């Protein structure tokens, strides 16, 4: 069974609007009006927000009377390593505030760090470290737009251990500073 992830409705909504593949299999979008459920990365037309429910388990969404989307095929596993990658991504999403090493992540799933990094890169085209940084930047971006917390508070709330690393990584992914990002999106 897939580990549950700790995302708010707003965060999950943002992921489906962005068609974010990183969250495929970790939650499903069910549309009440059509009775269809999809992956977060589905490219189908987006439903109205009031018609959406989110489920973390495919059996629960099916038991609620929804059927799988024919376009994104959420019931189809794409790789023999899909479950392992879901477990890792779920762990990273839930533990993003922790100071995680590759060894910590590998210990969680019970394989060697080298093997984990190789499989993860093969399946997602990025390393677990990069994936974790993207999660942290997503959290920081959300906090910058939706709260009045200071950049330093957001740095630590997002799991970064130092402000300099936070600013460097934020600029790498968003091409601007956190303050510039906040001013652009408010």
The alpha-helical segments, DSSP class H, found in 2-150 are 9-17, 58-63, 82-94, 102-109, 113-124, 128-146
Catalytic residue among 19, 42, 155, 176: 42
User: Out of 19, 72, 155, 176, which one is annotated catalytic?
Assistant: 72
Catalytic choice (19, 69, 155, 176): 69
Annotation marks residue 155 as catalytic: no
176 included as an active-site residue: no
What single-letter DSSP state applies at residue 159? T
Active-site pick, 19, 38, 155, 176:
38
38 annotated active-site: yes
Burial class (CB in 10 A: 0-12, 13-18, 19+), 174: middle
- 69 given a catalytic annotation: yes
Residues 6+ apart with CB under 8 A from 43: 19, 71, 72
3-state SS class at 101:
coil
Question: Distance between CA atoms of 185 and 131, rounded to whole angstroms?
Answer: 23
Residue 105: strand pairing partners: none
- List the catalytic residues: 38, 42, 69, 72
């Amino acid at each position: 069974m897939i580990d549950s992830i700790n995302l708010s409705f707003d965060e999950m909504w943002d992921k489906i609007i962005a068609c974010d593949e990183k969250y495929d299999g970790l939650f499903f979008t069910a549309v009440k009006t059509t009775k269809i459920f999809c992956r977060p990365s589905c490219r189908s037309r987006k439903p109205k927000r009031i018609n959406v429910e989110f489920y973390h388990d495919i059996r629960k969404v099916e038991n609620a009377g929804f059927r799988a989307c024919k376009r994104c095929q959420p019931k189809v596993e794409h790789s023999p390593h899909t479950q392992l990658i879901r477990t890792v991504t779920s762990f990273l999403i839930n533990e993003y505030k922790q100071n995680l090493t590759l060894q910590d992540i590998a210990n969680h799933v019970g394989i060697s760090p080298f093997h984990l990094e190789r499989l993860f890169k093969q399946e997602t085209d990025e390393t677990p470290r990069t994936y974790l940084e993207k999660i942290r930047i997503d959290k920081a971006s959300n906090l910058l737009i939706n709260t009045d917390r200071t950049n330093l508070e957001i740095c630590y709330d997002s799991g970064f251990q130092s402000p300099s690393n936070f600013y460097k990584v934020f600029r790498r992914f968003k091409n601007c500073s956190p303050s510039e990002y906040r001013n652009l999106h408010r």
